[in-house]
A and B are shown apart, each in its own frame.
Chain A
């Protein structure tokens, strides 16, 4: 078992606390089937020092959308060798909540300075405060990870209030209850079928992923109607493929979770 990154510095008043869904992502990414898949896909045997540059596809970029506490991105960064078979990878995160951006930056930095991580960790770039993948350059992402706000809700948080809620007011020097509720709602509220945010991400996905190397891990709960989601992705056609690669939770319970792997099945070389 690879160690779970520490999030003891994070205030869970306004940042999503690691839970069963987060841990399912950690377990899935580090499972033997997924690390075999990722190691094969991103094998760096071709990057030996003496090989010519034509075969050097460069360091892979890992993007986590909605990092929250940062536990998943920290795990992927700190265990780069164990999961991806290489340490020359770049990790980047986005979150709509500026407090989550600060918290996850610290979580990743702490995880990669742990004594045990020093040999096999990747290179952490930054967390940017953004809506899903909107500022990410097209076609640049090799691995995308998304633990979405998946809980079905009657409405989504009011984004017209987001600007004021996204910073600490100068008068109070701390966050208000109303503000914290808004920020936490962004981490779980998924609207109709719990799919409104995930659907927006799915719309962006093919533009953001590298057309040949791209792979995404997206978590769904039973109420998201995962089979319908998978059917829709199957209709994307070549080269896109989809498969469930991780499960957790009690059968029939509404929080039964699964992780989809969506990937380009192009031949890479």
Chain B
């Protein structure tokens, strides 16, 4: 499962869902796998407003991945201005492609290419562990916990 998916998941227990501690779920004993996919810079930019940045930072620390900036990047930090001759400046907005920065490429790698192949996702509120096997997380609860 993709790291980005964790942005939309909480503990499945009803009593936990209302608590802040049930999000994000904490990966444990995770085996990561990189699954490459085409880079779509505008896509990454439009995902950013959906991301709970502090939660994503926390997940990166827990997975031992490179530390993210303290705050979500501004869109301007995702694209480098193209180098254009002065006399074509007025066309720059439409004509020249802005180049994705290293930060944008890193976010693509983290959010869409980094996957949890096996491991556990642990609720910070109740401690329940959800297993991830063959890339699929199991959120089914034993009947006494529902």
For this complex, into which size category does the number of interface residues on chain B fall?
A: 35 or more
Closest to A127 in B: B136
Which residues of chain A are near B50, meaning CB under 8 Å?
Answer: 58-59, 61, 90
Which residues of chain B are near A127, meaning CB under 8 Å?
Answer: 136
Which residues of chain A are near B137, meaning CB under 8 Å?
Answer: 126, 128-129, 135
Number of A-B contacts (CB under 8 A): 112
Q: CA of A126 to CA of B3 in the docked complex: distance in angstroms?
A: 10
Which residues of chain A are near B130, meaning CB under 8 Å?
Answer: 135
Contact with B along A37-50 (1 / 0, CB 8 A): 00000001001011
Contact with A along B107-146 (1 / 0, CB 8 A): 0000010000000000000000010001111111111001
Complex contact A123–B1 (CB within 8 A): no
For this complex, into which size category does the number of interface residues on chain A fall?
A: 35 or more
Contact with B along A69-100 (1 / 0, CB 8 A): 00000000000000000011010101010100
Q: Interface on chain B toward A: helix, strand, loop, or mixed SS?
A: mixed
Q: Does B70 contact A (CB under 8 A)?
A: no
Q: Does B48 contact A (CB under 8 A)?
A: yes
Which residues of chain A are near B136, meaning CB under 8 Å?
Answer: 98, 101-102, 105, 126-129
Q: Does B83 contact A (CB under 8 A)?
A: no
Complex contact B47–A138 (CB within 8 A): no
Q: Does B95 contact A (CB under 8 A)?
A: no
Of A11-19, A158-166, A217-225, A227-235, the one touching chain B: A158-166
Q: Given known contacts A88-B42, A131-B12, A137-B8, is B2 in contact with A126 (CB within 8 Å)?
A: yes
Q: Given known contacts A137-B23, A138-B17, is B139 in contact with A126 (CB within 8 Å)?
A: no
Q: Does A56 contact B (CB under 8 A)?
A: yes
